[in-house]
Every structure is written in structure tokens, then in C-alpha cells.
């Protein structure tokens, strides 16, 4: 699968640091996670929802992107849409809680997230969903992760973005002001509290020339 990625200059600098580790962080297989404590920024959305963000959290993210393009068994899905069946506009893969993640850098990233959030979440991140947005025609529609416990309980969904930046939009269910995040090159976003049931999020299509992006969504048990 040949897709051209324009690398981040920031990631090139962080990738050099990743070869020897980062102070207070972890370095695995050419990717490094910076400490979350004191650096992650929380935005209160209202209605019990919040979003944490930390740009450039994962150093060496562009190299990890290239590894995942070939290591992950990507598949296309088809879905019923009104009176016809259509292709889902992205490639996907899901790793259940007993499945080994496809790269040790992701295992280390999940461990770092567990260490930071387990006291607040009350449990660990167990599963990993992955979406491959090949270009601006790939997208995901407005939704919340409400299959399972997210429909009735507060929870967290952590997203690590690799590759070219794409917009992640959030809006309150029933209407309201949209919150915008541009995510790529190792950026981290964590949606927490009531976010999955009181807010919606999407990655919209774009006619602008954009490179490929991989989104890694880490979730607790029973949240999809």
C-alpha cells in the first residue's frame, strides 16, 4: 500500500530524542511518549464532558505510522445505507483486549496512558480500534462511542493520531458550538466524562489535498 506522508519537522527532532529516550518518558522501538503529568491540557466542554489534549505527545510518530501501514491487517467494510450497501470511507482494524498490539510503541503508549488515567478512570485501557484515512475522501460521520457502557456510563476514549493532520470535530448532541482539533504527527486527545453520550465527534471529508492519517483509539472494556 503506497501512500505518501509528508513528515513533521517537529517529529524528526523528537524522533532523534526517541532513540535515547526522553526525560521522564518511555522510549520503545523508535517512538517515545512524553510525560503527561503537568503537560496535558483539559478543556471542560459542559454537560459533564471534557477533552484532554497534548500535541506531539508521541515522538517518532511518523516512523510508527509507516510501520503500521504494513503491519496492520487493514480491511474495508460495507454498510447498509438506506436502500443500498456502500463502502465505509476508511480502512479499519480492531484489537480486542486479548490481542497483542501490532507495535511495541503502542503497547508502551497504552501503559503510559494507564499510569496517568487509571486513578480517575478506575480501570485500564483494554482495546484498540484503528482507522486508516487514506486521503481527504475518507471520513467518519458524527457519532458517539455508545455501543456498550458508553451509552449509560462516564468513560474515556484516548486517540493517538499518526500521519498527516486531519480535523476532529466535537459538538453537543442536539446542537451547539463545534470544537475543532487538528490531529496528526503523534498528537493525543482523550475524551472523558459524559463525552460519548452527551457530545458527538467526527472526521469530516475535505477537498483540500491532505496526506494519510492513522487514528488509534484506546478504550476500556465494553466501550465501542
At residue 140, the pLDDT reads 95
pLDDT in tens, 110-128: 999 999 999 999 999 999 9
The CATH number of 9-78+90-219 is 2.60.120.590
What helix, strand, coil percent values describe the chain, rounded to 5?
A: 20, 40, 40
Given the DSSP bridges, would you call strands 58-59 and 127-133 parallel, antiparallel or unpaired? Answer: unpaired
Cell digits of residue 115: 499510569
- pLDDT-derived band of residue 35, with 50, 70 and 90 as boundaries? confident
Rounding to the nearest 10 degrees, give the CA dihedral for residues 137, 143, 145, 147.
-110
What backbone phi and psi angles, to 5 degrees, belong to 133? Answer: -95, 105
The number of CA neighbours under 13 Å toward the Cβ of 49 is 21
pLDDT in tens, 55-109: 999 999 999 999 999 999 999 987 766 677 778 899 999 999 999 999 999 999 9
- Every domain of the chain and the residues it spans: 9-78+90-219
pLDDT in tens, 190-217: 999 999 999 999 999 999 999 999 999 9
Amino acid at each position: 500500500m503506497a501512500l505518501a506522508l509528508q513528515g513533521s519537522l517537529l517529529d524528526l527532532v523528537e524522533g532523534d530524542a526517541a532513540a535515547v529516550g526522553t526525560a521522564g518518558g518511555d522510549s520503545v522501538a523508535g517512538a517515545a511518549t512524553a510525560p503527561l503529568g503537568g503537560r496535558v491540557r483539559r478543556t471542560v466542554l459542559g454537560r459533564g464532558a471534557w477533552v484532554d489534549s497534548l500535541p506531539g505527545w508521541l515522538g517518532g510518530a511518523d516512523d510508527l505510522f509507516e510501520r503500521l501501514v504494513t503491519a496492520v491487517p487493514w480491511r474495508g467494510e460495507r454498510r447498509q445505507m438506506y436502500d443500498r450497501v456502500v463502502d465505509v470511507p476508511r480502512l479499519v482494524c480492531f484489537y480486542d483486549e486479548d490481542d497483542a498490539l501490532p507495535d511495541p510503541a503502542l503497547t508502551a503508549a497504552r501503559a503510559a496512558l494507564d499510569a496517568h488515567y487509571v486513578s480517575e478512570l478506575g480501570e485500564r485501557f483494554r482495546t484498540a480500534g484503528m482507522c486508516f484515512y487514506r486521503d481527504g475522501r475518507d471520513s467518519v460521520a458524527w457519532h458517539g462511542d455508545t455501543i456498550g457502557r458508553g451509552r449509560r456510563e462516564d468513560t474515556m476514549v484516548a486517540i493517538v493520531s499518526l500521519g498527516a493532520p486531519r480535523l476532529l470535530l466535537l459538538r453537543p448532541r442536539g446542537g451547539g458550538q463545534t470544537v475543532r482539533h487538528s490531529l496528526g504527527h503523534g498528537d493525543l486527545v482523550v475524551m472523558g466524562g459524559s463525552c460519548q453520550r452527551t457530545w458527538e465527534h467526527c472526521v469530516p471529508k475535505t477537498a483540500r489535498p491532505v496526506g494519510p492519517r492513522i487514528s488509534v483509539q484506546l478504550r476500556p472494556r465494553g466501550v465501542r
